[in-house]
Amino acid sequence: MASMNLFTTIPLTADGRNPTAYFPRRRTNSVALAATSQESPPEIELEFIAPKAESEGRYAVEKAKAISGEKLLRNIMSDNKIELYATYGKLMNCGGGGSCGTCIVEIIEGKDLLNERTNTELRYLKKKPESWRLACQTIVGNKENSGKVVVQRIPQWKK
């Protein structure tokens, strides 16, 4: 049976170090910058208007905040326990895949703080107002902007 040598010989320098494994340590400037930077990421304030008026004729408003560019509108609403779906949507939504069209919202203010309509939205909202969006396709912010977005929940109940 042939034997196999599992050990290899590495030539060493006069002071006993491996010349191929020696690399001088370098300091990275990014660590120093990150440690001194105290700037927090931009935030988007959101207000969600209830779909139906209360007995006094006023609409209830729920508020939330999100870091710009990190989450979809649907996830922000879910995380803050803000109702998104009408009765049918509660039972038959696609879970955020963009294949059912039940998470429609209307952007009252702050449209410029959201991403452009996706191809899915263009297909589902073809005959709807430009202010209507699918919450599962709408990214809130772009990691650089901040401001306020006002959202009308379940806008089809207004019509």
Which residue, 29, 48, 66, is CA-closest to 109?
A: 48
**What is the topology classification, in CATH, of domain 43-157?**
Ubiquitin-like (UB roll) (3.10.20)
Domain ranges of the chain: 43-157
Q: What is the pLDDT of residue 90?
A: 85
Separation between Cα atoms, residue 151 and residue 121, nearest integer Å: 17
b/e map of 55-86 (b: 16 or more CB within 10 Å)? Answer: eeeeeeebebebebbebbbbbbbeeeebebbb
Widest distance between CA atoms in the chain: 94
Given a contact cutoff of 8 angstroms between Cβ atoms, the answer to whether 112 and 144 are in contact is no
Q: What is the pTM of this model?
A: 0.73
Q: What's the token pair of residue 43?
A: 């935030």
Q: What's the token pair of residue 128?
A: 């709807």
Q: What is the pLDDT of residue 11?
A: 58
Given a contact cutoff of 8 angstroms between Cβ atoms, the answer to whether 156 and 98 are in contact is no
pLDDT tens per residue across all 159 residues of the chain: 555 555 555 555 555 555 555 445 555 444 444 444 568 899 999 999 999 889 898 999 999 999 999 999 999 999 999 999 888 888 889 999 999 989 999 999 999 999 999 999 999 999 999 999 999 999 999 999 999 999 999 887 655
